[in-house]
Chain A
Amino acid sequence: MSTGEGSLGTSLHGVTGKEEVFAFSVDRTSCTTDHTTKFALPVDSEHRATVFKPFSFAKPHMRTFHLAWISFFTCFISTFAAAPLVPVIRDNLNLTESDIGNAGVASVSGSILSRLVMGAVCDLIGARYGTAFLIMLSAPTVFCMSFVSDASGYIAVRFMIGFCLATFVSCQYWTTIMFNGKIIGLVNGCAGGWGDMGGGVTQLLMPLVYHIIKLAGATPFTAWRIAFFIPGCLHVVMGILVLTLGQDLPDGNLSALQKQGNVAKDKFSKVFWYAVKNYRTWVFFVLYGFSMGVELTINNVITGYFYDRFNLKLHTAGVIAASFGMANFFARPFGGYASDLAAKKFGMRGRLWTLWILQTLGGAFCIWLGRSSSLAIAILSMMLFSIGTQAACGATFGIVPFVSRRSLGILSGLTGAGGNFGSGLNQIIFFSGSRFSTATGLSLMGVMAVICTLPVALIHFPQWGSMFLPASKNPEKCSEEYYYTSEWTEEEKQRGLHEGSLKFARNSVSERGKRAVSTVTSPPATPVLENV
C-alpha cells in the first residue's frame, strides 16, 4: 500500500504523531513480500531480503553482504598475519617465548574495546562509514610493522592492528540490517564464517608472500616486513570499495534517510542503557567468549602445538593450522543454517538448543584434542572441534539479532567483545608461562568451554520461552511487540520513534516455530494505532 492510494488517514500522515510516518504500511502477517519496491531480491516490509543468493552482487543486499564479509576477512588476515611469520620475526627482533605469548594476547585484546565502540558507531552513523573508517585508519598500523625493531614495538603494533577486528561487529550489523530474520542465521553465519576464514588463509598467504619476496632478492629480516604491505594494501582497497559501492540500509544511506525523516536518530545513552540492562547481553558475552574466544586462542597456539608435540616441520604445522581456520568456510554457515532450520520447527527454543549442543560438542572435542597423543587422532579431533566451535559461533548470531532491535549495534559489539575477552582470558590462564603444557591447557580450556556453555539455559524470551520453559502465559507479555517496544519509553512511543522495532516485531513472529503458522491475522482497514 502506498501513499497515493488515498486510503483512510493517509492525508493525515504525521499530524497526530500516532500514525506511521513511512510511505508504506506494515502488514500484520509475518514476512509478507513487499511487491512495491524495485529490488533485485524479494524483500519484506523492512526491505530486508528474504532470499540469500551468494553468487549475486545485486545492489544493495548481496553487494553489502560481499563488502561486509570481505572487509572482515581482510582484517582477520592482518590481525593474524604475524603468526605464521613468527619464526622469522622472533630471530629478527630477538623475542622470547614470553614476548610471543604477550603479543598473542595483545593481538586479541585491542578489539575488546573497539568492538564495544563499533556497536555504538554503527547504531549512530551507520555500518558503511563505520567499516570504512576502521579499515582505512587501521591500514597505517599494518604498515607500521616496517618500523618495528624490538619486542615492545612488536607487541604494541600487534595490539594496534588488533583493533580492526571490530569489523566483525559492522559486518554482522550490516548483514542483519539487509536480510530478513528467517534467513539471518545462515547469512550471518556465512558472513562471519567466511571472514573468520581469514585467520586460516593468512597462515598460507603470508609465508607464500614472504617466500616470493625472498626469491626476488630480499634478505629474510627485510622480506617479512615487505610482506606486511599486502594486508595493508588490502585494507586500503577494501575501504575504498566500501565507500564507493556500499550503502547503510536497503533504502539508501543513513544520513540521507535520517534527513528525510525515514529513520529516527537515536541517543547513544539510551541505546547503551537498553543493551546493558538486558541480562541476555551478558549471557552472550560469556557464551561467545567460549566459542569465538576459543577459536581466536587456537589461531595463536595451534601451529606451535603441532610443531612441538609431534615434531612436524613448521610448514606442515602451518598447513594444519590453516585447515582449522579454513573449516570456517562451511562450519560457521552450517551453524547459522542449523539455527534457522531448528527455528522453523521449534522456534527460538530450537535455536537455543542448537547453540548449546554445538558449543558443548566443540568443548568436548577440544578436551579430546589435548589428550590425543597420536598425530592422526589429534588432527581428527581438531577438525571435529573446529566444526563444533565455529558452528556455535554461527548459531550465536542466529539468536543475537532477536535479543534487541534498538540496541542491536551495541549488543553485537558486546557479544563480539566477549569473544575477544574470552580469548585473552584463555590465553592468560592456560597458555602463558609454564604452569600447564599446551596439551593440558587445551583440555582444560575445553572443560571450561563446556561449563561456560550451560548459561544458554538462562536465555528466556517471554514471547517464545527458553530451553526448558514455555512462553509466558501473560497475555500482555507474550507478544513480540511487547518485548521490542519495551525498549522505548512512552514519550518516545508517542513520537513514533519505535516504528522500526514494531516492524521488526511483526517480522519476527516466525520465531514461534510451528505456532506461527497458525497465527490468524488480517490487515486492518484503518491506519494502525499502537499502544494507545
Chain B
Amino acid sequence: MEPTRLLLVSTFLTFLVSSCYGSVLFSSLKSTLIVNASPKPGQVLEAGVDKITVTWGLNQSIPAGVDSTYKTIKVKLCYAPVSQVDRAWRKTVDDLHKDKTCQFNIVARPYNSANKTLQSFEWIVERDVPTATYFIRAYAYDSEGLEVTFGQTTDAKKANNLFVINAITGRHLSLDIASICFSAFSVLALFGFFFIEKRKAKGNQGK
C-alpha cells in the first residue's frame, strides 16, 4: 500500500499547489491591446517554412494609467472554432487556467508603458504546429502572472480574419526505407527458419 499512499499524498499536494494560483475568467477581461498579423484572411501557411510577422501595442484611445499593471505581453497562436469541433483537448473554457484555446507561444516581451510604438516580431511557424485554422491573440500579465487584458486579430466571435497552417507530415524517406527493410528482414527471417527446419526434418527422416 505504500506506493499508493505516496501517490495519493503527492497528487493531493500537487492539487493544492495548482489551486493556489488564482483563476481569471476570460469574460472578465476587456480588450485594450491592438494585435495585427501578416497572414491575410484565408491564407495558407506551411509549418517550418513560412513566417508570421506580429505587431502589437496598447490601444491609444485607452485612458492613461490603465496599463500600469501590465508587466509582460505574451503573443500566442490560437485555434479558431472550426478547428475545435470534436476535439475536447482544444476546448475554449472561460476559466483561463483551464482554457485550451491558445496552445502555442509566439513571443513573450516585457511591457514598457513609456514606449508608445508598436512592437513587432517575426516568427517562423514551428514544425509541431498541427494543421488547423488559427488567429492570434496577445495577453498582458501582471506581476503575479495573471491575465489582465488581451487583444486579438479576429472579432469577438472569432469568425473573421482567420488563416490556415498546414502541418509537416512528419514522414521522411529514410524512415520509410528503414521501415521497409526491417519488415522485410522479419518476414524473410521467419520463412528462412521455417524452410531450413523443414529441410532438416526431411533430411533426418531420410536417414
Residue of A nearest to B196 (CB): A243
CB pair B169 A239 closer than 8 Å: no
Contacts of A92 in B (CB 8 A): 130, 167, 169-170
Q: B168-196: which have CB < 8 Å to A? A: 168-172, 175-176, 178-180, 182-183, 185-187, 189-190, 193-194
Q: Chain A nearest CB: distance from B89 CB in Å? A: 7
CA distance A137 to B4 in the complex (A): 39
Residues of B participating in the A interface, judged by any CB pair closer than 8 Å: 4, 7-8, 11-12, 14-15, 85-89, 98, 127-128, 130-132, 167-172, 175-176, 178-180, 182-183, 185-187, 189-190, 193-194, 201, 205
Is A137 a contact partner of B175 (Cβ separation < 8 A)? no
In the assembled complex, the CB of A128 is this many whole angstroms from the nearest CB of chain B, namely 10
Asked if A225 CB lies within 8 Å of chain B CBs, one says yes
Shortest distance in angstroms between B148's beta carbon and chain A's nearest beta carbon?
23
A221–B185 contact, CB under 8 A?
no
Partner of A236, one of B176, B179, B182: B182
Determine the chain A residues whose CB is within 8 A of the CB of B171 once the complex forms.
Answer: 146-147, 149, 222, 225
Known: A97-B86, A225-B175, A226-B175. A143 touches B182 (CB 8 A): yes
Known interface pairs A133-B190, A240-B189, A256-B201; A232-B168 also in contact (CB < 8 Å)? no
What are some 5 contacts across the A-B interface (CB < 8 A)?
Answer: A94-B132, A139-B186, A143-B180, A236-B186, A244-B193
| A80-97 interface (Cβ within 8 A of B) | 87, 90-92, 94, 96-97
Stretch at the interface among A27-35, A50-58, A105-113, A375-383: A375-383
Assess A255 versus B201: contact at CB under 8 Å? Given A94-B131, A136-B187, A379-B11.
Answer: yes
Contact A222 B170 (CB under 8 A): yes
Interface residues on A, range: 35 or more
Known contacts: A149-B169, A259-B205, A383-B4. The answer to whether A222 contacts B175 by CB under 8 A is yes
A residues near B (Cβ < 8 Å) are 87, 90-92, 94, 96-98, 129, 132-133, 136-137, 139-140, 143-144, 146-147, 149, 219-222, 224-226, 229, 232-233, 235-236, 239-240, 243-244, 255-256, 259, 308, 311-312, 316, 319-320, 323, 375-376, 379-380, 383
Given contacts A143-B179, A232-B182, contact A219 B127 (CB under 8 A): yes
A316 CA to B12 CA, complexed, in Å: 12
* Contact among A87, A91, A376 for B12, CB-based, below 8 A: A376
Contact of B179 among A98, A132, A147, A323 (CB under 8 A): A147
Contacts of A316 in B (CB 8 A): 11, 14
Please report the C-alpha to C-alpha distance between residue A87 and residue B130 in the assembled complex, in whole angstroms.
11
Interface pair A146/B176, CB less than 8 Å apart:
yes
Q: Which chain B positions have C-beta within 8 A of A243?
A: 190, 193
Q: In the assembled complex, which residues on chain A have CB atoms less than 8 Å from the CB atom of B167?
A: 91-92, 94, 221
Q: Which of B86, B98, B170, B193 contacts A221 (CB 8 A)?
A: B170
In angstroms, Cα B8 to Cα A225, docked, is 34
A236 CA to B193 CA, complexed, in Å: 13
Given A133-B190, A229-B178, check contact A91 B130 (CB 8 Å).
yes
Which of A136, A319, A380 is B186 in contact with, Cβ under 8 Å?
A136
For A236, the closest partner residue in chain B by CB is B186
**Cα distance, A63 to B11, chains bound together (Å):** 41
- Give min CB distance, B196 to chain A, whole Å: 10
A376: chain B residues within 8 A (beta carbon): 8, 11-12
Sort A-B residue pairs by CB-CB distance and give the 5 closest, nearest first: A221-B170, A140-B183, A91-B130, A96-B86, A139-B186
The listed residue with most B CB atoms (<10 A of its CB), out of A94, A221, A235, A380, is A221
Q: Nearest B residue to A306 by beta-carbon distance?
A: B11
Give the distance to chain B from A510, nearest Cβ to Cβ, in Å: 35
Residue in B4, B14, B130 whose CB lies within 8 Å of A379: B4
Complex Cα distance A46/B122, Å? 76
Closest to B168 in A: A221
Shortest Cβ gap from B175 to chain A (Å): 5
Report the minimum CB–CB distance from A88 to chain B (whole Å).
8
Q: Point out the residues of chain A lying under 8 angstroms from B180, CB to CB.
A: 143
A94 with B130: CB separation less than 8 A: yes
B194: chain A residues within 8 A (beta carbon): 129
Q: Is the CB of A375 within 8 A of B187?
A: no
> Separation in Å of the A99 CB from the closest CB of chain B?
9
In chain B, what residue has the closest Cβ to A138?
Answer: B186
Measured in the bound complex, the distance between the Cα atoms of B88 and A165 in whole Å is 30
- Report yes or no: B128 in contact with A220, Cβ–Cβ below 8 A: yes
A140 to B185, CA, bound (A): 9
Q: In the complex, how many angstroms separate the beta carbon of B123 from the nearest chain A beta carbon?
A: 16
- A373 CB to closest chain B CB (Å) equals 13
Residues in B whose Cβ lies below 8 Å from that of A232: 182
